A = this chain, B = another copy of it.
Amino acid sequence: MAVYTDVPDEELRAFIADYAIGEVVSCKGIAEGVENSNFLLRTEAGSYILTLYEKRVAPADLPFFIALMEHLAAHGIACPTPVKAKDGVALRRLCGRPAALVSFLDGMWPRRILPVHCAGVGDALAKLHLAGAAFALRRDNNLSVAGWRGLFEACRARAHEVRPGLAEELGTEIDALERCWPRDLPSGVIHADLFPDNVFFRHEAVSGLIDFYFACTDFLAYDLAICLNAWCFETDGSFNVTKARLMLANYRAVRPLSADEFAALPLLARGSALRFLLTRLYDWLNHPSGAFVRPKDPLEYLQKLRFHRSVTQPSAYGLDA
């Protein structure tokens, strides 16, 4: 839950006057999203999400994110569509912060993940990858293999506070993944954070994808590996092969996986588990006391990492070659 910036009504009115969407009717801070301040805004023309970008999002990356949402929406993906002001510019400023208005998407994210949700995510992710193919901009993924060692070094001295021996296990893992990380898989725009709270459903069908603020250019199959981790484990840590099979089958029905991608999946899933383990560990060790956002448990991802390390064949994910 997060609203970091309170927007005075007069400033909001002046901000909205630059758009052709009528006057503000109501504006409520919403308790979702942990990186930015989000408001559900109603004007005479309809409903929107107003986002103020807080310090964790680099302003230099914002044109990429805005252009990506515009591109994807224009290519049939149900995602927030940036609304341009009268001067044609979508990325603006409010209360001293970069700000943008995007379309409101119906639907709710699933709190209890059912197999049907995993099927929908596989399909939606593949369509996202296809729609992103023609997107011209690129943004390096600073949370992939090249970024892990730096994150690890920032946590190393205190990792034992979370679990004895954690630093040693992470060091060995990073050594191994740096050695064998794939180099030539099909790449493109990936969402890179497609967790359940970023996928809206209506009547068990995907109605929208949100929160493109980790999107970047990387291996497409890495995005799939992130989703396997985010959607296919039960809360007790067990891996649900039925869910994984549905996700993968529905993905492949839209965008077939190459033999290399198929073979790399266990490794990509290990890397993805390591990525969320490291960022959660960093947040756990560095969150200010009294912060609004409760840090997520890093050890959930240690369990997932160990599972993937034990996998030798992609068939463990319910996948046939």
Task: From known contacts A1-B1, A290-B294, infer whether A112 and B30 are also in contact, taking CB-CB under 8 Å.
Answer: no
Interface size of A by CB at 8 A reads: 37
Q: How far is the CA of A26 from the CA of B207 in the complex (A)?
A: 11
Residue in B9, B111, B291 whose CB lies within 8 Å of A110:
B9
Q: Which residues in B have their C-beta under 8 angstroms from that of A29?
A: 1, 30-32
Q: How far is the CA of A105 from the CA of B200 in the complex (A)?
A: 25
Q: Which of A77-114 contact B (CB under 8 A)?
A: 104-112
* A10 interfacial by beta-carbon distance below 8 Å: yes
Residue in B3, B25, B106, B107 whose CB lies within 8 Å of A31:
B3
**How distant is A41 from chain B, measured CB to nearest CB, in Å?**
10
Residue in B10, B105, B109, B112 whose CB lies within 8 Å of A10:
B112
* A75 interfacial by beta-carbon distance below 8 Å: no
* A42 interfacial by beta-carbon distance below 8 Å: yes
B25 and A106 contact, CB distance less than 8 A = yes
Interface centre among A2, A25, A289 (most CB of B within 10 A): A25
**How distant is A117 from chain B, measured CB to nearest CB, in Å?**
10
Closest to A30 in B: B28
Q: Which residues in B have their C-beta under 8 angstroms from that of A107?
A: 25-26
Closest to A294 in B: B290
Closest to A288 in B: B290
Q: Which residues in B have their C-beta under 8 angstroms from that of A108?
A: 9, 12, 24, 26-27
Interface centre among A2, A104, A106, A111 (most CB of B within 10 A): A111
* A6 interfacial by beta-carbon distance below 8 Å: yes
Q: Which residues in B have their C-beta under 8 angstroms from that of A32?
A: 28-29
Q: Which residues in B have their C-beta under 8 angstroms from that of A9?
A: 108-112, 201
* A202 interfacial by beta-carbon distance below 8 Å: yes
**How distant is A6 from chain B, measured CB to nearest CB, in Å?**
6
* A8 interfacial by beta-carbon distance below 8 Å: yes
Q: Which residues in B have their C-beta under 8 angstroms from that of A104?
A: 26
**How distant is A259 from chain B, measured CB to nearest CB, in Å?**
38
* A292 interfacial by beta-carbon distance below 8 Å: yes
Q: How far is the CA of A8 from the CA of B202 in the complex (A)?
A: 14
* A185 interfacial by beta-carbon distance below 8 Å: no
Q: How far is the CA of A111 from the CA of B7 in the complex (A)?
A: 8
Q: Which residues in B have their C-beta under 8 angstroms from that of A7?
A: 111
A112 and B8 contact, CB distance less than 8 A = yes
Q: A7-B111, A26-B105, A31-B31 are in contact. List 14 more A-B contacts (CB 8 A).
A: A9-B108, A9-B109, A9-B110, A10-B111, A12-B108, A25-B106, A26-B106, A26-B200, A28-B30, A28-B32, A30-B30, A30-B31, A30-B40, A292-B292
Binding site for B on A (CB under 8 A): 1-3, 6-10, 12, 24-32, 40, 42, 104-112, 200-202, 289-292, 294
Q: What are 6 A-B residue pairs whose CB atoms fall within 8 Å in the complex? A: A7-B111, A8-B112, A26-B106, A28-B30, A28-B32, A40-B40
